[in-house]
Structures are given as C-alpha cells and as structure tokens.
Structure 1
C-alpha cells in the first residue's frame, strides 16, 4: 500500500493536483454524539442555557468545512460550493447523529471537509452541553459517501 502524501525521500508533501480536470465532488460524513437523554430532551425543547445548540452546531460545521485547509496541513484549499449539516436526534437514547455534506467543482475530493464539518458540529454540541452533562461522548466519525474524480463512487458498507 502506498500513500501519496510522501515523496521518494519519505517527506510529507501536498499532492500536486494541478494537472487534474475539475469535476463535481461530493462527500458525506457522520459523527455520533451521545448525551444523557434528559440533556438532549432539554436541547430539543429549547431549554439549554446557551441557546440554540443545534443551530450553533450547524453553523460551526459549515464554517469548519471552509477552514479545513487551516486545520489539516496537507489538504488543498477548495472553493466549496455547498456545505450542509443535519441532525438526527434520538431523544430516548440521547444520541445525535450529525451528518455533513460538502460539494465543490474541484480537482480533488471534499472528504476531509465533510469529516471536519461533522466533527466540529459534534464538538460544538459537546461544548454547549458540557456544563450540564459531563459524560458526553463523540464517536464513529466516518466517511459515508463520496463521488467525483477518477476513483468514482464510494459508499460505506451498510449505508444507503
């Protein structure tokens, strides 16, 4: 297995994508936040002392997608054309599935932007709820889907 972020001497490099033809790139990623059920129920009822938790988390994720090259050293700066963050809360279990989708007409994929968006949205939920729930966990950050470019479509096994 070879990794394309290293040159012949083993030094980290930014992959040269200048010769690639831009195509529409799409990626969707997920992160899972687990809170106490009563904490999530308070969030959904608008009773959080910090305000609209999911609204702020959505904006944080969208902003994070646009800042990915500032956070991941070898990622390319991209002109993102679409970034969205959605939430599927399960009030009975306290679980929130965060899903982020990013699109761009670019020479390289947007997987990292989608994963950063999902992760930062999840971290924002944690930050806004940590005062009332110290046991929050974040897990299962995963790429669910990607398309565009020469590698074609990837769909995580078990996902629709």
Structure 2
C-alpha cells in the first residue's frame, strides 16, 4: 500500500461495491498499522464510499421514480377512487428503489446481482400496472411510464456489467 496526498492507495479492482466491506475489514482493522495509517485509511475509505453511494444515477432515478409513483397513486386514488391497481403499483414501484439501495450494501457480488434482479422484476411489474392504469383511462401521465422504462434500462445495463465482472473472477 502506497500513500499519496493523505490517501492510502489500494488497488482499484478491490473497490467494486460488493467487495467494499471485505476491503474495509482487511485494510481497516489496523493490525500492525500506525494511528496515522489507520486515520488515512478511514478518510480514504469514507471518501470513496460516499462518492460511490451518493453519485449513483440508478439510485437517484429509482428514487425519483418512486416519488412519481407515490404522487400518481395518491392522485388516482383521490380523483378516480381506484385502489386495487394503485395499491399494487405503489408496492412494486417503491420496491424498485428499496432493492437497489439494499444492493449497494450486498455481502458479495452474487448478492449484489440478486438484489438488482429483484429490482428488475419489480420494475417490470410496475411497468405492467402503469400500462393497465394508462390503457384503462385511470391515468394519462405517460412520463411516469417513461421513467419506469429508463430505470429498467439502467438495471439491465447494471446487471450485464455486474455479471460480466462475476464471470471474470472476484478481483474485478
């Protein structure tokens, strides 16, 4: 491990999200390290983790989608008095972002992939309920469906990338 500008240099291949807890345990325990080295590692790790978790387009877009779903469901319930479809949409639409958030704290790459796959299923289910609401005339807001499709595309791309990394071994 080399040090530059107050940050500990750890191989970037170890910083894929599913391996962050492992990296923290290995390098952050502090066995045989000075207090300064421990402090530098903690600052580096915190900076990296915040950057990864705070700047995820997938998380941002899935949260915006969930908020749009909540607004849409409330509007349809109050103006059209429809609850069966909106209850299903509310469950699946908010579950997408929750599972994505959970994936960022996965125990392994396989767990990360599994959580993203659950999110993709929930997203697909949400797309179905939105199509029913639109085609039945309960709703006319096509923008929410477009958001759903965008999140679905991001999930598919993320899963492809994660699976490619899984196939090439744990060091990626």
Greater strand fraction, Structure 1 or Structure 2 = 1
Higher relative contact order (CA 8 A, sep 6+): 1
Which of 1 and 2 has greater Rg?
A: 2
When normalised by structure 2's length, the TM-score is 0.33
Greater helix fraction, Structure 1 or Structure 2 = 2
